[in-house]
Chains A and B, each alone.
Chain A
């Protein structure tokens, strides 16, 4: 059984009387330790798919399971708790809290755990070390470059040791060099730390970093 199983997934938006079918009857398996890249034209539903996997949105039909968790069956409260332990989200625009330092941003998911302050500190400093920013712990997002911000965001996504990492165009807003660093980092997370990654991108070079590439177009997913 795959770590992530998507079965017969459909998402239809209703805008006024108009029905917008983003995709219908999608099946997808992702094994543990996989680094899967998802590509597709704008508006094809990639973000929608990630949101569904993370339980941030409800599908019109179909099921999603991650490990033992039936994502599509859980209540909002269960979803929040599950998300905090099993999902690491990375956004195109980093989405760090501007009023918190890099350290405090990375600590955010750990506040939801029972870890003590010193344990949290240990975890945060470890991941900041992994992303190569331990010397920037006390810097605020506005004091960091885009690439650094994204690395902080990655640290925040992995600090609670999630089951899957969902990344939505994480290099979309970065220059080539920063993008390269971020992608190398994601490869390391996958290779060294055995993280399962689902990466959405428009960027062909980014796609080359994954184990496999899938395309989503006109509601159809192809390998």
Chain B
């Protein structure tokens, strides 16, 4: 480590250039870690999806509704234990920036199907007994400083946009698995139905089946039954349904990865350029070190160490900056990314990338330093 100072003084020789390069590496890795964490978080969320719950939605798209009458038949399908339904309410609290996911659900059956939500018994009763009551995740309560019994109002651009929807918070749930999310908001479908002059229809049905092994048969039966009806259906396990949503994000993810890759190469070129310039400026010094007996191998290592130091420092800033930024602020992607976290595997991958960046950007100048012909170089510079 006695050579550390040599590496350090060379790094800090052109401070502005080194700082800029370090910061761009940091930015690139911040981006990488963020994107990757979105993916791992979504993957975790998908795991929450149960194999014994199924979702029946409109065959064309989740944005189309299904008739309420389907319920009557769905409960009769062999293997189906119970049926509930839900709607995406898209309610806005105060300002669109205060976004959180909110759903109108057929509450009694819905709660029975989702033991992931732990609710004190008295609160559950209070919620079920009141038409305008809301069930709110503990994280959401905390986020807005809400209290039990508090009245709040939402507006919904898709459901009766010209009015406010008053709610009273009657129950708070805590998720058994953090990936389920603690920032969701539920209320009664009946309230939605009445509030829209009975125009509301179920967005999707949730079915609990007796045995996950029956899933394929149940799906087949249901979709076949409605094939030629007014609204054909698509039925799949909740996990597959979530995977579908994730795949939707996934395409976005692919795009983001492509952008990430482009940024990565831009940063690589930048870092490589920095190292080239840095190395070119001191060819004569490299030659002098060689006259002192510094071997080609050592000079190669010193240049590489310098490049790697820059990118590793940038990496540390970017990777742990992201970890602290997201975990320190309890970031949840507005509730869409419950339990968002930068996993250690992601952080490690980020640092590995930083190291590779350093080696890749330093290899050419390191090679040049090692190969530098001393006699000619000294002659050239004086």
Q: Please report A residues at the B interface, Cβ cutoff 8 Å.
A: 47-48, 51, 54, 56-57, 76-77, 80-85, 87, 89, 91-93, 95, 97, 99-100, 104, 108-109, 111-112, 117, 156, 160
Contacts and interface: CB of A to CB of B under 8 A. Distances in A.
A156 B285 CA distance: 14
Given A56-B374, A81-B293, A91-B378, A111 B3 contact: yes
Contact of B285 (A57, A85, A97, A160): A97
Contacts, number: 69
B288 to A, nearest CB: 5
B296 A76 contact: yes
Given A54-B291, A80-B293, A117-B2, A95 B9 contact: no
Given A51-B375, A56-B374, A111-B3, A77 B295 contact: yes
B292 A156 contact: yes
Interface of B: 2-3, 5-6, 9-10, 13, 284-285, 288-298, 374-375, 378-379, 382
B296 A77 contact: yes
Contacts of A92: 382
Contact of B291 (A89, A111, A160): A89
B61 to A, nearest CB: 64
B284 A95 contact: yes
Nearest to A104: B5
Given A51-B374, A100-B9, A111-B6, 20 more contacts: A47-B379, A56-B291, A56-B374, A56-B378, A57-B375, A76-B295, A77-B296, A80-B295, A80-B298, A81-B293, A95-B284, A95-B288, A97-B9, A97-B288, A99-B13, A100-B6, A111-B2, A112-B292, A112-B294, A117-B2
Contacts of A85: 293
Contacts of A100: 6, 9
Contacts of B382: 92-93
**A76, A80, A82, A83 — which one has the most chain B CB atoms within 10 A of its CB?**
A80
A104 B5 CA distance: 9
Given A91-B378, A100-B9, A77 B297 contact: yes
